């Protein structure tokens, strides 16, 4: 694919498949989901390759690793700063586009040099709201 040419990484078919699966994916998939999806097209791909690729993409800032799911690695193909809505029932994660300029008072910074922030909004998604009695 054209757009991946200038990423400065070797474009193997496996990587291309991973990149295409991630491109525009709003589901914040886990490593295992990515592996499963790409396996359909490349039955011989190994988990190691998936993890390797994801780590490489992360290092180059092309994707972000999410941490709100303690049970597995999840990835966000959107590398631009944004925030997340998290459903406490089904663990669905949805992007929040707004920007929030949160200024932490000097006295609260504890000597940290702050580069950015990430807000997790916790709640219940529409599906789960209706599901529960």
Partner DNA sequence: CTGGCTGCAAATCTTTTGCATCCTG
Partner DNA sequence: CAGGATGCAAAAGATTTGCAGCCAG
Q: What is the rounded distance in angstroms from the CA atom of residue 82 to the CA atom of residue 94?
A: 10
Q: Which of 60, 68, 79, 90 binds its own copies (CB under 8 A)?
A: 68
Least Å distance, CB 65 to DNA, is 9
Distance between CA 107 and CA 112 in Å, rounded? 10
The binder of 42, among DNA, its own copies, none, by C-beta within 5 to 8 A per type, is DNA
Q: Which of 98, 99, 106, 133 binds its own copies (CB under 8 A)?
A: 98
Q: Confirm or reject binding of residue 59 to its own copies (CB under 8 A).
A: no
Q: Which of 102, 106, 131, 133 binds its own copies (CB under 8 A)?
A: 102
Going by the DSSP 8-state scheme, the letter that residue 30 receives in this structure is B
**Residue owning tokens 């400065």:** 8
């Amino acid at each position: 694919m054209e757009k991946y040419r200038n990423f400065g990484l070797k474009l193997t078919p496996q990587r291309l498949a991973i990149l295409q699966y991630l491109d525009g994916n709003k589901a914040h998939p886990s490593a295992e989901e990515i592996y499963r999806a790409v396996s359909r097209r490349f039955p011989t791909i190994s988990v190691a390759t998936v993890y390797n690729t994801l780590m490489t993409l992360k290092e180059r800032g092309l994707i972000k690793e999410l941490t709100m799911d303690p049970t597995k690695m999840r990835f966000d193909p959107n590398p631009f700063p944004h925030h997340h809505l998290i459903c406490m029932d089904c663990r669905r994660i949805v992007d929040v586009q707004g920007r929030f300029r949160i200024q932490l008072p000097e006295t609260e910074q504890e000597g940290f040099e702050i580069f950015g922030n990430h807000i997790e909004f916790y709640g219940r998604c529409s599906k789960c709201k209706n599901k529960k009695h």
